[in-house]
Amino acid sequence: AQKVTQAQTEISVVEKEDVTLDCVYETRDTTYYLFWYKQPPSGELVFLIRRNSFDEQNEISGRYSWNFQKSTSSFNFTITASQVVDSAVYFCALSGESRYSGAGSYQLTFGKGTKLSVIP
Amino acid sequence: KAGVTQTPRYLIKTRGQQVTLSCSPISGHRSVSWYQQTPGQGLQFLFEYFSETQRNKGNFPGRFSGRQFSNSRSEMNVSTLELGDSALYLCASRASSYNEQFFGPGTRLTVL
């Protein structure tokens, strides 16, 4: 079974501080995909990034960066110089081929989410 | 390109009733998945459809069902509603199995 753990339930930071959201995953699939989604108060999940299990290169996109470490099964997300608009719930998710339904099904397993509040 | 759309956005039903939710995927996307989000259980996978066939199903009772039409639009149905079915139901579409899923705004269902 797959599992995603986001140990931080809620984090509060003051604007312009850096913040790292932790994500630890468990899977027996050899090929899998990791994702981060943002859920603002409106409720819609906004896709941020996808990372393949065979690509451990870290990625930076503006103020966002992601650190994927296969050795520790972690996929952490850092926001640099946080802004009020970053306030949201952030979800880490994992997908891999379903062993029970055969090829082609890559359902997402989500962590419980981390609620980030950026205080002005 | 237009995003994933879901209708209705809000629904209030009473116990024992049934409900049908609709999802229109991004144009060209053939895979549609449904997720239930509750404060207690978080985001849980319901089922996935691809080319009108259910490809995978989560651990939900048979009261939860779905289907997909030839234009990739999908509906999910919940029969004999229970209080615990109150949730945000999210639909997501993707171009293929290896791609990221894009989510709609959700349908917030309240069961009284």
pLDDT tens by residue, A62-107: 999 999 999 999 999 999 999 999 999 999 999 876 655 455 567 8
CA of A8 vs chain B CAs: smallest distance (Å):
14
Q: What average pLDDT does the segment B2-9 reach? A: 94
Are A37 and B103 inside 8 Å of each other by CB?
yes
Judged by a CB distance cut-off of 8 A, whether residue A112 touches chain B is yes
Are A44 and B104 inside 8 Å of each other by CB?
yes
Are A109 and B98 inside 8 Å of each other by CB?
no
Interface test with B, best of A45, A53, A59 (most B CBs within 10 A): A45
pLDDT score of A29 more than 90: no
- Rounded Cα distance between B73 and B99, Å, is 19
Q: What pLDDT, on a 0 to 100 scale, did the predictor assign at position A58?
A: 83
β-bridge partners, B7: B22
By C-alpha distance, the chain A residue nearest B90 is: A44
Q: What pLDDT, on a 0 to 100 scale, did the predictor assign at position A60?
A: 86
User: Please, what sign has the CA dihedral across residues A43, A48, A50, A56?
Assistant: negative
By C-alpha distance, the chain B residue nearest A98 is: B56
* Percent of all residues in chain B with a pLDDT value above 70, rounded to a whole number: 97
Q: What pLDDT, on a 0 to 100 scale, did the predictor assign at position A8?
A: 97
By C-alpha distance, the chain B residue nearest A45 is: B103
Are B103 and A105 inside 8 Å of each other by CB?
no
Residue of B42, B48, B105 with shortest CB distance to A44: B105
Least reliable range by pLDDT among A8-12, B21-25, B79-83, B95-99: B95-99
Contacts across the A-B interface (CB distance below 8 Å): 58
The string of pLDDT tens digits covering residues B56-110 is 889 999 999 999 999 999 999 999 999 999 999 999 999 876 678 999 999 999 9
- Rounded Cα distance between A31 and A42, Å, is 33
Contacts with A71 (C-beta within 8 Å, 6 or more apart), sequence order = none
Q: How many helices (H) and strands (E) does chain B have?
A: 0, 11
β-bridge partners, A118: A13
- Rounded Cα distance between B63 and B10, Å, is 20
β-bridge partners, B49: B32, B54
Whether the CB-CB separation of B66 and A12 falls below 8 Å is answered with no
Across chain A, mean pLDDT equals 90
Contacts with B50 (C-beta within 8 Å, 6 or more apart), sequence order = A104, B30, B31, B32, B68
Q: What pLDDT, on a 0 to 100 scale, did the predictor assign at position A103?
A: 52
